[in-house]
Structure 1
Amino acid sequence: MCIFIRNITSYLQAEKNIRYQKNQENKHTLLTYQDLKMKFENNTFISGDGVYYEGVIRDVKRSKVSLQPVYEAFTNSLEAIRIKEKIDKDFKGKIEIKIYSTQNTDQSYTFSKLQISDNGVGFDDKEFKRFNTYKDFTKGFKNLGSGRIQYTHYFDTTQIKSIYLKSGKYREREFYVSKKEDYLKKNSIIFHKKDIEIEAKSSGTILTFEGLLDQTRNIYHTLNDVNLKDSLLKRYIQYFCLNKNSLPEIILEHYVFNDKESHSTISKSDIPKIDKTDNVKVHYSKLSDDAKSIIETENHETFTINSYKLDKSFLKQNDLKLTSKHEVVENFEVNLSSLSKDEVIDDSHFLFLVSSEYLDNKDTNERGEINIPNNDIFSNDPNMFNEEVIILNLLEMEINGTINNLYPQIEKIQEQHQLDIKNLKEMFLLPEDSEIEISINDSDKKILEKFYTAEAKKKADLDSNLKSSIERLNHLDTTSENYSETLDTEIERIAKVIPQQNKADLTHYIARRKLVLELFSLILNRKLSIQNDGSRNKDEALLHNLIFQQNATTPDKSDLWIINEDFIYFQGISESKLSEIKFKGENIIREDLSEEETQFITSIGENRLHKRPDILLFPQEEKCIIIEFKNPDVSVSDHLNQINNYATLLRNFSIPDMKLTTFYGYLIGEKIEPNDVRAYDADFKNAYNFDYLFRPSKTIAGIYSNEGKDGSLYTEVVKYSTLLERAKNRNNVFIKKLTKENIEPPF
């Protein structure tokens, strides 16, 4: 009688659970008292009523989580042990997982089989009936009965041997799960081999996976006790933490050619403690009466956030995960906007796990698949939401807000993130655009991509509007009465569009110059790491390459504008022997040198045509610009004649077509004492208020060819810091025009 009452009570509770699952399908086979008494025949295929298994196999997709079958079996073992614990308070559960591999000649492994055993309640008729009923959720653990489908997706055969207690005697049930052709022909995935009475001392189940169907799934070939333990800890961290003091003994072993290679255990010491816990209420949402917006309702669900502060070596990045039935949901992304994934606090990463009765009930037939809509889906197809629903966007916002309250350090990190974005905007002169959503996980590159993508879209709109205006101009009728009015309207539209287009292009141009000047300042102040690594002084080369890359021949791609805006439009070359310099495809040095000229060039043991001017520019016929850089630590006064010498060689030995008679020289350094310069050459004069010296003219001797005609040289001696200040002032004029703010840039 007691057994009868207990069975009826179980049935009534099961029926209550069925009614509770309001969001689940109602088409399933109910457990009845007669069902509990039924006997399953030996050597028979089990066919579910109203279930077409070929369709089920097709509809329930293979999980993207490769270890899902293992997780399903492990969960079943945990549940079998919990059922037995309710019957026997002194019972101590045990789960053993054995991984069998073979070793290849290259020392790698090939997966053979995996076995999971437990000493739980076993597959009695009641549990076996549930196992055979697709979409049965009468079980107190809210299973949907689709786990066995994952068995068939990953393994050719799953063998289950189970010992259970019935009427005071032990019985052994053996059955197989597969989607092989002979199974599906019988509209089945389960073959019940036997159910016999045996001599035994305890109940339990041994499940064996064999015949890996997809041999490319290397996770199984590399699986061992260590990495499986790590996977189980991460997957079941919520369950382990909540049941830390009542966990079964969990043993993992790796066998190679049936010899035990290694073993691990999951014990209380492996399980981290929950660092902090908080609850958050999330209101349901619905479409407004006018179907134009989403509004919150008074109804809500409560979600629990458990946070774990874990060593960064164990948890590789910060993460936020939903959980269902105490398991982490792997296939549903939730945005952790409070903390970047790579942020480390106290050598730790954070894991935030969110649980709720609501999430348990939202789990789909493909276990671990959660369906929660976001605003986009809601807005695109409002008709699919006839009832109130929890919206993902609101859920994420409430969860992240609670996380901020849990950890003040995270709030400080967010403040720094906002400051970094502000500095990035100032650096690249980015516009304030409220439509651009920036995540705390976005790198600088990603943020810039978002801004530039938004700008590109705006530019496309502007171009489209401009094209439309021009097309409308083609159709204007000069004889119409409103001709003048229509023309003025189109002109006004075009007048608005063109400045906006130009402003976007100019902003990028000025922002780049701003960065170049920042780098110029860092070099000049010796702030670059390469300038402080103990190697030889490279300041002159760094400055030279910044302004015009050595050995380059493209002034238009250089930053010669730092010296003079016009210089980028001239032809020229950087750092090359005089004898090898070409202009318009021809060597600029004559090949028909006389014996006397050659003797002069090679006198006093050097070849003067092997000298390398830092920069030569040719603005037009008869003119040449010579630029020489000096290391900031070198006294410029000692090199006042260097540009004179270059001008003399070019005047006398260049080809007649060049007709070089007018030269402009720029001697640039930092160690400049005006009186010292004038002591060397009194023709130099101070340019008051502009901090440089200039020599209006210096005669360049015409000694040999070129009709013996002298040339002239204008020279400036100027500091790098003066060039920097001039260039910054010029650039700031543009920045103020663009931003309409009379503020100094951040450097």
Structure 2
Amino acid sequence: MTLDIRGSLKNTKISANRYVVLEELISNSIDSFLIRQHQDPLVRSLDVRVVAEVLTTSVVDGAQDLCISCTDNGCGLGEEQMEAFLTKDTSYKDDLSIAGIGKCKGAGRIQYFHHFERVGIRSTYQSDGKVLTRTLPLVAARKKIDRTDFTVSEGEAGDIGTTITLDTLKPGVRERFYRIDTPSEIFSAANMRRYMLVAFLQRLVSLKTELGQFSISFQTKNPHGRIETLTLTAADLPPVTEVKSVLVEERDPQAGSPLGSYANFTLSHYKLDASVFDLPRNAISFCAKSSPVQDITRRYLRTVSEQNRPLDGFHHIVLIESELLDRRVNEQRDGFEGIPNEIPTGDLFDEEKVSYAGIYDCIDPIIEAMVSPSGWSRDDVIADAAERFGVNPGMLADTDTRVVYGDNAKSVAERVLRKYQERIIADTAEIFDLREEIEKAEPHTANFRQKINELSWKYASSLKTFDMANLSQLVVRRAAIVEILALACKRQLAVQVVAEGVRRQDERVIHSIFFPMKRDSLETSDHDIWLLSEEYQYYDYIASDKPLSEIEWNDGEKLFDPGIDDELAATLRRRAEENGAMRPDIAIFDKEGSAIIIEFKAPGVSLDDHVGDLSEYAHLLAAKSNGRLKKFYGYLIGDTVAPLRMAGWTRFAAGHGYFRSTPLQDPETGRNLGELYAETLFFDDIVRRATKRIGVYRDKLQLDLSKK
């Protein structure tokens, strides 16, 4: 058996958690102890000793390096453990019927090699009545580890256990994690103990009987001989304050309909006296295998001061556990994969039946009852929303809107009205869907009258929603936007009257109606992209006439990776040189991996001359996104086209536009990059679609903004 270190580093991302190696060391020590107790059930207690030695590497700038060792009294690295250590995707622990040991893939130890130049092991174990010691010396730049790298010698029974030593931080890790906070600060005994109390609280509490009067000591050896030592023992563990279980209903990933089955989530709340427990902050986290993985404290405690200080004299720790979270935790143990934000997701390949939105809907009220700062009143906010905006408790109940800590009257009113707006749009769409079905029905059949009944009930319910929401303003505003777009497309706006010889700005005017130019959705939420499709305004990110290189993703991370794989390097370099300045008028991105490309052409410009633009944009975005984007929807919008030049395109049954769907393949390598669905649309069609969406409510208001 051989552990391929270089291959494992490629396939397992580095964790963003600075304490990840410490967590893995202690977690493995606990597992090893449980295995020893299972094999040899004597009365003993877990004993783990962590030593962090901080070294000064430069007298000039005070640069520091780090060496960490962790010693335990577990079972040691016997034959089965050795085989598992040398297997990247191991199932060793999965088959152990031992309480407290969770499933694993063996990816945790890869973080050792991500963070440190050298990894050494000294382990004493029992085998066939003998006591042996297995040693892996500290060697830098290992590419692989196999059995021949270990030496085996006779050992002492009193030494059974394992010491793992991690030495010399890698330069990239030192720059990324220790540029501001030094190793001596991060790995001080006090900080290690504080962090590990929270990280292992749930596991230590649940295993208190199995681990006995355990002791986990933290020692920091600082430069100049200063030593700091603190210990975490069984007596230090607080009792759990309360435990709540909640069932999250599963939904069909495609339709979003309830399935009648449920996923169970358990919330454990620890309310800790701040005068007894010296903790740096409150913590609310999604957990996997009884350990915090994803911190969600900011969702419930909005300010930094609330997160960091005790609330009414108590620190609060809320740990959320579920088999779903255990199954979906990523290899770096700093997040979860495969849990969608919403259901339905719109992705045919999504299979998860529980979304973050569904989880939060169920756990939010429970956590808000557990952790709520003083000085804020839900009743006061509800009363203020009713007085200032007319949003009464009945409307809150009708839209299933909860008032949570941090809300004010304005934010509550906005959420309620937005939900009514979405409901009205959905109702309107369904009305016209039914109308189209009615037109296809045969009047002399019973089905025709059934459709009439459905339409009348749907219309009546939508009017009730409309009246409750008092959304006349929305309809008036949207009707005005549609009329402005219609005038702009016909060059009838006052701003489009220009003197002879002055360059026309028709495309710029039309573009700005949909979305402000040279802006993105991080800078403005005031736009009218709904004119093209209602769902696009809810996408994660919209960029209007922005260079591709400026588009950001995930808290400042660039969406388009400048680094590309070797296979496409030469081709993409050439494309980048030729098209580096190219960018779509509007680009809309969804983190599920889809992109919408919108290109406007001024009145009179023939669309058939530019049908290749969409494909070229899609190729560039697919390739430069490094695999993040695979599904593309392209829209080329104008008012002129030569039908004879639209070979390969299918004409819409209604309207003058065309559509087609084509695979995106690299022209030089043939590699599949994704799929492009493209449409060429006329401005009149856009106006007609938008008018149709709001028509029923505009008629109710007897609103007509067009010029007679």
Normalised TM-score (structure 2) = 0.51
Determine which of 224, 230, 233 is the counterpart of 2:197. Answer: 233
Q: CA RMSD in A?
A: 4.3
Matched residue, 1:283? 249
In structure 1, runs of 5+ residues without a counterpart are 1-45, 477-747
User: How far apart are 1:75 and its partner, in Å?
Assistant: 0.5
Partner letter of residue 78 of structure 1? Answer: I
Given the superposition, is the C-alpha separation of residues 364 and 191 from structure 1 closer, same or farther in structure 2, using an over 3 Å criterion? farther
Matched residue, 2:174? 215
- Residue 58 of structure 2 corresponds to residue 97 of structure 1: no
Mapped partners of 2:127, 2:220: distance in 1: 34
Mapped partners of 1:189, 1:457: distance in 2: 68
Mapped partners of 1:460, 1:96: distance in 2: 67
User: How far apart are 1:164 and its partner, in Å?
Assistant: 0.8
User: How far apart are 1:282 and its partner, in Å?
Assistant: 2.3
Given the superposition, is the C-alpha separation of residues 294 and 444 from structure 1 closer, same or farther in structure 2, using an over 3 Å criterion? same
Helix, strand or coil at the partner of 1:423: helix
Given the superposition, is the C-alpha separation of residues 151 and 168 from structure 1 closer, same or farther in structure 2, using an over 3 Å criterion? same
Matched residue, 1:373? 339
Determine which of 296, 300, 306 is the counterpart of 2:262. Answer: 300
Identity of aligned pairs, percent? Answer: 18
Mapped partners of 1:348, 1:324: distance in 2: 25
Given the superposition, is the C-alpha separation of residues 460 and 58 from structure 1 closer, same or farther in structure 2, using an over 3 Å criterion? farther
Mapped partners of 1:390, 1:372: distance in 2: 10
User: How far apart are 1:269 and its partner, in Å?
Assistant: 3.4
Determine which of 437, 447, 467 is the counterpart of 2:484. Answer: 467
Checking the alignment, whether the CA contact within 8 Å between 1:144 and 1:367 is kept in structure 2 is no
- Residue 84 of structure 2 corresponds to residue 135 of structure 1: no
Checking the alignment, whether the CA contact within 8 Å between 1:312 and 1:349 is kept in structure 2 is yes
Partner letter of residue 385 of structure 1? Answer: D
Alignment map for 1:448-527 (pairs within 5 Å) = 461=478, 464-471=481-488
Determine which of 199, 203, 207 is the counterpart of 1:243. Answer: 207
User: How far apart are 1:385 and its partner, in Å?
Assistant: 2.5
- Residue 29 of structure 2 corresponds to residue 77 of structure 1: yes
User: How far apart are 1:100 and its partner, in Å?
Assistant: 0.8
Partner letter of residue 89 of structure 1? Answer: L
Deviations 1:76-131 (A, max 9, x none): 11111111222132122211011112368799782331111011110011101111
User: How far apart are 1:475 and its partner, in Å?
Assistant: 7.3
Given the superposition, is the C-alpha separation of residues 380 and 285 from structure 1 closer, same or farther in structure 2, using an over 3 Å criterion? closer
- Residue 276 of structure 2 corresponds to residue 321 of structure 1: no
Mapped partners of 1:443, 1:178: distance in 2: 56
Checking the alignment, whether the CA contact within 8 Å between 2:2 and 2:87 is kept in structure 1 is no
Deviations 1:662-682 (A, max 9, x none): xxxxxxxxxxxxxxxxxxxxx
Partner letter of residue 215 of structure 1? Answer: R
Matched residue, 2:350? 385
Mapped partners of 1:191, 1:446: distance in 2: 68
Deviations 1:623-669 (A, max 9, x none): xxxxxxxxxxxxxxxxxxxxxxxxxxxxxxxxxxxxxxxxxxxxxxx
Helix, strand or coil at the partner of 1:147: coil
Checking the alignment, whether the CA contact within 8 Å between 2:372 and 2:405 is kept in structure 1 is no
Checking the alignment, whether the CA contact within 8 Å between 1:152 and 1:177 is kept in structure 2 is no
Checking the alignment, whether the CA contact within 8 Å between 1:315 and 1:349 is kept in structure 2 is yes
Partner letter of residue 221 of structure 2? Answer: Y
Helix, strand or coil at the partner of 1:145: coil
User: How far apart are 1:460 and its partner, in Å?
Assistant: 8.1
Q: How many residues align?
A: 414
User: How far apart are 1:458 and its partner, in Å?
Assistant: 9.2
User: How far apart are 1:424 and its partner, in Å?
Assistant: 6.5
Matched residue, 1:165? 126
Mapped partners of 1:234, 1:108: distance in 2: 31
Alignment map for 1:63-212 (pairs within 5 Å) = 63-86=15-38, 87-102=40-55, 110-139=64-93, 140=96, 141=101, 142-175=103-136, 180=141, 183-184=142-143, 192-212=149-169
Helix, strand or coil at the partner of 1:251: strand
User: How far apart are 1:306 and its partner, in Å?
Assistant: 1.0
User: How far apart are 1:265 and its partner, in Å?
Assistant: 0.6
- Residue 222 of structure 2 corresponds to residue 256 of structure 1: yes
Partner letter of residue 296 of structure 1? Answer: P
Partner letter of residue 31 of structure 2? Answer: E
Deviations 1:458-500 (A, max 9, x none): 9985663242253478679xxxxxxxxxxxxxxxxxxxxxxxx
Mapped partners of 1:449, 1:190: distance in 2: 66
Given the superposition, is the C-alpha separation of residues 411 and 66 from structure 1 closer, same or farther in structure 2, using an over 3 Å criterion? closer
Helix, strand or coil at the partner of 2:348: helix
User: How far apart are 1:444 and its partner, in Å?
Assistant: 5.7
Matched residue, 2:518? none
Mapped partners of 1:262, 1:233: distance in 2: 17
Helix, strand or coil at the partner of 2:257: strand
Partner letter of residue 18 of structure 2? Answer: S
Mapped partners of 1:358, 1:70: distance in 2: 25
Mapped partners of 2:489, 2:164: distance in 1: 76
Matched residue, 1:351? 317
Deviations 1:498-541 (A, max 9, x none): xxxxxxxxxxxxxxxxxxxxxxxxxxxxxxxxxxxxxxxxxxxx
Mapped partners of 2:262, 2:122: distance in 1: 45
Given the superposition, is the C-alpha separation of residues 392 and 179 from structure 1 closer, same or farther in structure 2, using an over 3 Å criterion? farther
Partner letter of residue 356 of structure 2? Answer: L
Partner letter of residue 81 of structure 1? Answer: F
User: How far apart are 1:169 and its partner, in Å?
Assistant: 1.4
Checking the alignment, whether the CA contact within 8 Å between 2:32 and 2:76 is kept in structure 1 is yes
Alignment map for 1:660-679 (pairs within 5 Å) = none
Mapped partners of 1:74, 1:83: distance in 2: 14
More displaced 10-residue stretch of structure 1: 417-426 or 270-279: 417-426
Checking the alignment, whether the CA contact within 8 Å between 2:33 and 2:75 is kept in structure 1 is yes
Mapped partners of 1:157, 1:457: distance in 2: 63
Given the superposition, is the C-alpha separation of residues 272 and 429 from structure 1 closer, same or farther in structure 2, using an over 3 Å criterion? same
Mapped partners of 1:308, 1:366: distance in 2: 26
User: How far apart are 1:349 and its partner, in Å?
Assistant: 3.8
Given the superposition, is the C-alpha separation of residues 315 and 259 from structure 1 closer, same or farther in structure 2, using an over 3 Å criterion? closer
Matched residue, 2:380? 419
- Residue 254 of structure 2 corresponds to residue 309 of structure 1: no
Helix, strand or coil at the partner of 1:211: strand
Deviations 1:590-638 (A, max 9, x none): xxxxxxxxxxxxxxxxxxxxxxxxxxxxxxxxxxxxxxxxxxxxxxxxx
Deviations 1:293-350 (A, max 9, x none): 41222322322221111245745655431221121113x6488559998386542243
Given the superposition, is the C-alpha separation of residues 472 and 66 from structure 1 closer, same or farther in structure 2, using an over 3 Å criterion? closer
Helix, strand or coil at the partner of 2:159: coil
Mapped partners of 2:399, 2:138: distance in 1: 53
- Residue 315 of structure 2 corresponds to residue 360 of structure 1: no
In structure 2, runs of 5+ residues without a counterpart are 419-470, 494-708
Mapped partners of 2:146, 2:409: distance in 1: 51
Checking the alignment, whether the CA contact within 8 Å between 2:378 and 2:405 is kept in structure 1 is no
Mapped partners of 2:225, 2:327: distance in 1: 44
Given the superposition, is the C-alpha separation of residues 150 and 472 from structure 1 closer, same or farther in structure 2, using an over 3 Å criterion? closer
User: How far apart are 1:150 and its partner, in Å?
Assistant: 0.6
Given the superposition, is the C-alpha separation of residues 425 and 211 from structure 1 closer, same or farther in structure 2, using an over 3 Å criterion? farther
Mapped partners of 2:269, 2:250: distance in 1: 24
Partner letter of residue 117 of structure 1? Answer: T
Given the superposition, is the C-alpha separation of residues 135 and 238 from structure 1 closer, same or farther in structure 2, using an over 3 Å criterion? same
Mapped partners of 1:253, 1:264: distance in 2: 7
Deviations 1:5-51 (A, max 9, x none): xxxxxxxxxxxxxxxxxxxxxxxxxxxxxxxxxxxxxxxxx625xxx
Mapped partners of 2:400, 2:490: distance in 1: 35
Select the structure of larger CA radius of gyration: 1
Matched residue, 1:47? 2
